[in-house]
């Protein structure tokens, strides 16, 4: 009796799906890098468009792919690629003043994506609420880390006060961006029928 072993077949649809995910992560890390380079240097934390990009990516990619994309970008920074604000990179960045904000990024991408996956953020008010909450989580974790380094009073002064108005502006911009992109997708889907 002869044993016949079947080799796994090449599955085009699953490979296309994987390639699409890899491309999405790569493009997402490029967007995150570009958002990092839009920077106003303050001490010890610069003002950037990172939070905006993180919550847009989370909302558009979903919780899992949003968090994976942000983690890939942070891994790029950890191994030395200058993808963070002011070209920062390397492991020391993850122990410096910005560490709490950086640690919050995959969390807020997953948070925004979780609401998006459940269609909670489909309207402007709910979407804005999601974006504002994501910004609040970012500021909260960032200030908590800074407080361990500088004390609570100084952490609030340098880690919250310069950023809260910008957080509101970024939440409005993120809401507008996500709703416009989703609206464009819906129109293209309707036109294709």
Residues counted in the chain? 193
pLDDT recorded at residue 62: 97
Instruction: Name the packing angle between helices 124-150 and 50-61 (round to 10°).
Output: 130
Q: Is the pLDDT of residue 5 over 80?
A: no
Please state the rounded mean pLDDT for residues 78-90: 96
What's the pTM?
Answer: 0.86
104, 122, 96: which is closest to 175 by C-alpha? 122
11, 108, 2, 123: which is closest to 53 by C-alpha? 108
- Stated as kind and residue range, the H or E segment containing 39 is strand 39-40
**CATH architecture, domain defined by 48-185:** Orthogonal Bundle (1.10)
pLDDT recorded at residue 42: 80
- The better pLDDT of the pair 18, 167 is held by 167
Task: Give residue 185's pLDDT band: very low, low, confident or very high (50, 70, 90).
Answer: low
CA–chain centroid gap for 167, Å, is: 14
Give dist(CA 159, CA 114) in Å, integer: 26
pLDDT recorded at residue 48: 94
34, 74, 79, 72: which is closest to 52 by C-alpha? 34
pLDDT recorded at residue 122: 80
Give dist(CA 64, CA 168) in Å, integer: 25
Cβ atoms within 10 Å, residue 82: 15
Give dist(CA 156, CA 176) in Å, integer: 29
pLDDT recorded at residue 187: 61
Instruction: Name the packing angle between helices 50-61 and 12-37 (round to 10°).
Output: 160
pLDDT recorded at residue 4: 57
Instruction: Name the packing angle between helices 124-150 and 164-192 (round to 10°).
Output: 140
Residues 12, 4 contacting (CB under 8 angstroms): no
pLDDT recorded at residue 78: 98
Give dist(CA 16, CA 31) in Å, integer: 22
pLDDT recorded at residue 117: 95
Q: Is the pLDDT of residue 50 over 70?
A: yes
In degrees, to the nearest 5, what angle opens at C-alpha 108 toward C-alphas 104 and 114?
150
Q: Is the pLDDT of residue 12 over 60?
A: no
Q: CA torsion angle for 6, 12, 18, 24 (degrees, to 10)?
A: 170
Q: Is the pLDDT of residue 49 over 80?
A: yes
């Amino acid at each position: 009796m002869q044993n016949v072993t079947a080799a796994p077949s090449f599955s085009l649809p699953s490979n296309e799906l994987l390639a699409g995910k890899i491309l999405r992560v790569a493009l997402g890390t490029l967007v995150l890098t570009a958002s990092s380079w839009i920077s106003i240097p303050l001490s010890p934390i610069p003002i950037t468009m990172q939070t905006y990009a993180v919550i847009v990516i989370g909302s558009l990619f979903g919780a899992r792919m949003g968090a994976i994309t942000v983690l890939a970008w942070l891994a790029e920074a950890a191994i030395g690629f200058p993808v963070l604000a002011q070209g920062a990179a390397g492991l020391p960045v993850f122990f410096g003043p910005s560490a709490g904000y950086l640690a919050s990024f995959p969390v807020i991408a997953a948070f925004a994506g979780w609401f998006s996956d459940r269609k909670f953020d489909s309207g402007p008010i709910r979407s804005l609420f999601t974006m504002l909450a994501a910004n609040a989580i970012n500021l909260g974790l960032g200030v908590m880390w800074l407080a361990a380094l500088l004390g609570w009073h100084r952490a609030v002064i340098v880690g919250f006060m310069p950023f809260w108005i910008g957080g509101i502006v970024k939440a409005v911009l993120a809401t507008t961006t996500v709703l416009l992109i989703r609206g464009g997708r819906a129109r293209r889907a309707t036109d294709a029928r």
